[in-house]
Amino acid sequence: MNNFRLFGLEGSRPFAQRVARYLDVPLSRHVESWFADSEPYVRSDVNVRGCDVYVISSLYGDAEQTVSEKFTKLLFFIGSLVDASARRITVVAPYLPYARQDRKTESRAPISIKYFAQCIEAVGANRVLTMDVHNLSAMQNAFRIPTDNLESKNLIADFLCGVDTGADTDGVPCPVDHHIECPLVNCSGGLVVLAPDSGGMGRARRFRNALERRLGLANQIGVVYLDKERSTSGQVKGSKIVGDVTGRQVIILDDMISSGSTVALSADAVRQHDGEVWAICATHGMFVGRAAEHLAGIDRIVVTDTIVPFQVNGSPWEGRLHVIPTAMMFAQAIRRTHEEGGSISDLLKS
């Protein structure tokens, strides 16, 4: 592709390498280091004048860098690209932080996604590409520059139905599963998709539709939600399910698994209503805090690689945790964004 540069900042470099391979372009060189007092230094090591530049950085905290460190480094890098006369800069953040802080929940509470967006815009970014943001409307209202939100529903539906992802790592590290034992095509009994709250019903319905297309069903998979509430201390409570799961096999779907408390609450509610938890699915898997404890007893946990599951270690997760690659979808989205007339909407439908 002409006048095209693709960068992968540290923490997302293996992911960026996979995207570059699908695009059949080299990953552009850059310099990234730290001063002795942990002050970041980052710049492009190639000419970007007049180029369309895509910067990949999944902004989650890991064992090496915090969210703030990754975000600060990203801002400085975008600013340096603007000063180097890049024509257009697209931030590719498979996981977008601060999206849960999208409104005032109490007096003087911050609306952090708004401040995040203002920072991205202030340094000169032209576009943001992400996946399954926590609150799509809030993100779109926070940003004044164009934003594209990819959805993992088709990737997860393919995986659960036993469709080979077709992801060939080609030597590039990738935590990928190609199959699931006992896929949904062999599942007997009625299926239900459960959203952990009413706000997730739209996501659950779109996922239900994707499943029905693959299973050749029509209006046979139910969609329900957990009627929960969150206290001022952040504790989630609730066991009432709006909809029927009795005698059904339930797929719990959320945008992220953090400590696992919300999906664990949902799983307990399903059991109380005489349903069976078939799988827990989410786009972003953080697995922080007491996640291992909260998710004990769940046979199938499915996430994507927008966040590398660095917190997950040892036998308790083996055979239970499945990680689906997303680099191919991001590569297709980048190509469609770069090429004139490309459609992200068509990509989401495919």
Q: Residues with catalytic annotation?
A: 228
Whose structure tokens read 């504790």? 235
Reduce the DSSP state of residue 53 to 3 states and report it: strand
Q: Which of 305, 336, 339 is nearest to 131 (CA)?
A: 305
125, 133, 280 from 82: Cα distances, Å: 8, 26, 42
Residues whose CB is less than 8 angstroms from the CB of residue 214 and which lie 6 or more positions away in sequence, other chains included: 157, 158, 161, 163
Structure tokens at 170: 């080609």
- Cβ neighbours of residue 81 closer than 8 Å, sequence gap 6 or more: 44, 48, 53, 55, 89, 124
Q: Copy the structure tokens of residue 254.
A: 């959320």
Secondary element (H or E) of residue 288: none
The whole-angstrom distance between residue 27's C-alpha and the CA centroid of its chain comes to 22
Q: How many residues does the chain have?
A: 350
For residues 207 and 157, the answer to whether their CB atoms sit within 8 Å is yes
Element (H, E) at 16: helix 13-23
CA distance from start to end of the chain: 23
- 49's tokens: 């004048």
- Between the alpha carbon of residue 52 and those of residues 67, 89, 105, 267, 339, the distances in Å are 26, 6, 39, 45, 11
What span, in angstroms and rounded, lies between the C-alpha atoms of 177 and 318? 12
Residue with tokens 């576009």: 127
DSSP character at residue 185 = G
Task: Report d(CA 112, CA 255) in Å as an integer.
Answer: 18
Tokens of 256: 């992220």
